[in-house]
Structure 1
Amino acid sequence: MESTNQRGAFAPPPETRQYAMKMGRTLAVLLATILIASPAAAHIKWFEPFDVSAQPKPLDAVLSPTFVTFFLISVVLVYLFFVVDRIALRRGVMETFHQRLKVFDGLSILIMRGAAGLFFASTWAMAIFGGIRFYLAPELIADEVWLPWFQLALALCALSRWTTPLLGAGILLLYALALHHYGVFHLIDYLIFPAVAYFFMATASASYGWKKSGFVTLYAVTGINFLWLSIEKFAFPDWTYPLLAKHPALLMGIAPETYMVLAGFVEFVIIFTLLGAASVATRLIAFAFQTLLVLGIFEFGLVDAIGHLMINAVLFVLIVRGPTDARYILVLSTKSPQMEAYFMTGLYYLAFVNAFILYYGLHALLQG
């Protein structure tokens, strides 16, 4: 008897296995490329000196032959990925499993609360026992003596669903304080925290619509945050060179300049496919990217573990719960998979160009 997914596409088991194998090969290419660019897992501002007011690398220097070559390769990979992803969606590869896990909203909220509680308990402990006070990220050093106790209070707010709106409001307050001290351009690096704050306030509602908006915001802003950070690797590669000098094994024989171009493309491609995938590939990419972040802890230590804790929590929620139905806006169900892949590749081009325009434009506007 033939089986169908919710979209009514027929999926004979042999063909399903065939498309699953194709998806696996495409993802294997992407995952292998991720592992090449392991410095992408480290937020460089936590480990090396930086100056956001410095001038970024000129665009004519960024657009080198190496950059153009990697860009063309990335376009091909994005196209191939979305052909496989849309075929897998229509063939219903693991669709029953994929849809069943989408009901885990309560567990996902609990995961986020637990991660936030651990995060703020860790920041309190670092301040009390390590003498290091920071707002929301290790380089956002704070002077307020009351801050660790406020963070401890936020950790306690994570223990009950009734106090999670207070947790969200507290995160917004810390973000506002960091914004006041460090400026808008620097704090764009941490847009994930306002998204987490909104998530806690929205999911405290009994309304399914508000809960859904919390997940949509959390996923979308986290992805946009990483797209922004990927452009930093093109604009300020010199910030990472000292880190690569201290960890030469990461280069695997690749020149540092080439390595940073590759790291920027890897991060952008992975996050774009994560945002645009509509099949079970979403969970697989989230798992691979989280694995990369976790492996970075062994290389970069406790600071990396605490700094990436909330990001890891978001990725884990995406693995457990899966994406929201909002991403089906990008699915052209009346078109062929190849046409959908052309459409998504066009969006990739637009996203890449606009990310550069925004990064360089906002830097010129906000930093002078």
Structure 2
Amino acid sequence: MKKSFLSILFLIMIILTPSLAGAHVKWFTKLAPEKISIEQILSPLFIVVALISAVILALLPQIMDKLLVIPFAEKLDTKLSDWRKYSRYILKYGTALCLTIQVVSGTMFAPEFHIEHTWQMFFMWMTIVALVIPSHYATKLGATMMFVLFSYIWMNTGWFHMLDYGFYIAIIGVLLIGQTKFENWGFPFLYLGTGLSLCWVAVEKWVYPSMTLDIIHHHGVPTFGFDPVSFTVLAAFIEFLIGYLLVIGILNRLLGLVVTIVFVLTTMLFGVTEVIGHAMIHVILVIFIIEGVSFYQPPIKIHKTRWDQMIFVFLNFIFVLSTFLLIYYRFA
């Protein structure tokens, strides 16, 4: 009975997760960004969904503690734990593969950043070669060259824009501190960087909804019966919730699997651009599925009683949501 309930719950999550939540808006529309007023963003729908999300998040850790004692879940956890020794290799060689896909397509890090100079091509290939070499010194060299390229794009594009791709900084950090006394900080930093990037990208859909609405119209994105405006708000919330859950250390394996499936589905809508842009995210999600939170003490564990944990998660989510929205709106 419990297994059936989990399966049904899991299927519902996949079906209801909008494919647009996996799409990076800037890649698929040429429409100029048009900021709406803060009053329009804070619509009744936005406020209601925010409160409902906070309540669900507050209850989720308590529910998951009970679901994870199911024998099937325990066996799966043990099986995945056996793969943890390969996580760093998956990140290292997965990054090399993703960079290869990018350089072949003439881009760096994302479909919007095109290779325009010979030295950029040289740096990309040298980074790939360094990452493929089975030596932690070569890995650090590759990570350093990645950082040089990323910094160059950052300086020419602007720090605000590049926050969308903050997970690359986390990847570079993990590769640099491998086989050092700081190695154990690597994957928590990867979770944090990826989660915050997803949260940041989600806010874009609230502040510049016209770009998302343009994608829905021109790419035939299914809205599951919702009107496009409401669907945009909900899609952004789902993306923000995924990022937030990764940061606080809840449902990492399940989230990794669900988001991986969603990104595969978005490939059917957006084609090769989606593959180029999100290949690196797929690698990270595979690591999340394997790792779970074995190395990570979720922030909610600071609080001992269930009520304290629930209140913490509720208030913390509202605070984080407000902070992201206000900072993005102020500097966008």
Which one-letter code corresponds to 1:45 in the other structure? K
Which one-letter code corresponds to 1:111 in the other structure? I
Which one-letter code corresponds to 1:197 in the other structure? I
Match of 1:42 in 2: 23
| CA separation of 1:25 and 1:325: change in aligned 2, threshold 3 A | farther
Match of 1:13 in 2: none
Q: What is the alpha-carbon distance in structure 1 between the residues aligned to residue 157 and residue 249 of structure 2?
A: 35
Does 1:220 pair with 2:192?
Answer: yes
Does 1:158 pair with 2:159?
Answer: no
Does 1:65 pair with 2:44?
Answer: yes
Structure 1 spans left out of the alignment, 5+ residues:
1-16, 128-133, 364-368
Q: CA-atom RMSD, angstroms?
A: 2.6
Q: Larger C-alpha radius of gyration, 1 or 2?
A: 1
Q: What is the alpha-carbon distance in structure 2 between the residues aligned to residue 230 and residue 199 of structure 1?
A: 24
Structure 2 spans left out of the alignment, 5+ residues:
none
TM-score normalized by the length of structure 1: 0.81
For this pair of structures, how many residues does the alignment match?
330
| CA separation of 1:352 and 1:92: change in aligned 2, threshold 3 A | farther
Does 1:184 pair with 2:159?
Answer: yes
Match of 2:175 in 1: 200
Match of 2:278 among 285, 308, 328: 308
Match of 2:211 among 212, 218, 239: 239
| CA separation of 1:334 and 1:100: change in aligned 2, threshold 3 A | farther
Alignment of 1:327-366 (within 5 A): 327-332=297-302, 334-336=304-306, 338-363=307-332
Residues 69-100 of structure 1, C-alpha deviations (whole Å, 9 max, x = no match) = 32233223223322212444688984575367
Does 1:107 pair with 2:107?
Answer: no
Residues 248-300 of structure 1, C-alpha deviations (whole Å, 9 max, x = no match) = 3522332211111011111112222333345xx32112100111012211221
Q: What is the alpha-carbon distance in structure 2 between the residues aligned to residue 216 and residue 50 of structure 1?
A: 36
Q: What is the alpha-carbon distance in structure 1 between the residues aligned to residue 304 and residue 42 of structure 2?
A: 37
Does 1:211 pair with 2:192?
Answer: no
SS at match of 1:306: helix
TM-score normalized by the length of structure 2: 0.89
Does 1:116 pair with 2:86?
Answer: no
Stretch moving more, 176-185 or 139-148: 139-148
Residues 126-160 of structure 1, C-alpha deviations (whole Å, 9 max, x = no match) = 23xxxxxx332111234212322321221111212
| CA separation of 1:161 and 1:330: change in aligned 2, threshold 3 A | farther
| CA separation of 1:27 and 1:76: change in aligned 2, threshold 3 A | farther
Match of 1:276 in 2: 248
Q: What is the alpha-carbon distance in structure 2 between the residues aligned to residue 91 and residue 138 of structure 1?
A: 42
Identity %: 23
Which one-letter code corresponds to 1:47 in the other structure? F
| CA separation of 1:146 and 1:183: change in aligned 2, threshold 3 A | same
| CA separation of 1:309 and 1:25: change in aligned 2, threshold 3 A | same
Residues 170-201 of structure 1, C-alpha deviations (whole Å, 9 max, x = no match) = 11111111112111111111111111111111
| CA separation of 1:271 and 1:92: change in aligned 2, threshold 3 A | farther
Match of 1:317 among 261, 267, 287: 287
Q: What is the alpha-carbon distance in structure 2 between the residues aligned to residue 362 and residue 260 of structure 1?
A: 21
Match of 2:112 among 128, 135, 139: 139
Work out whether residues 21 and 239 of structure 2, in 8 Å CA contact, stay in contact via their aligned partners in 1.
yes
Which one-letter code corresponds to 2:16 in the other structure? T
Work out whether residues 138 and 307 of structure 1, in 8 Å CA contact, stay in contact via their aligned partners in 2.
yes
Work out whether residues 202 and 239 of structure 2, in 8 Å CA contact, stay in contact via their aligned partners in 1.
yes
SS at match of 2:111: coil
- State the shift of 1:343 in Å: 2.0
Which one-letter code corresponds to 1:225 in the other structure? S
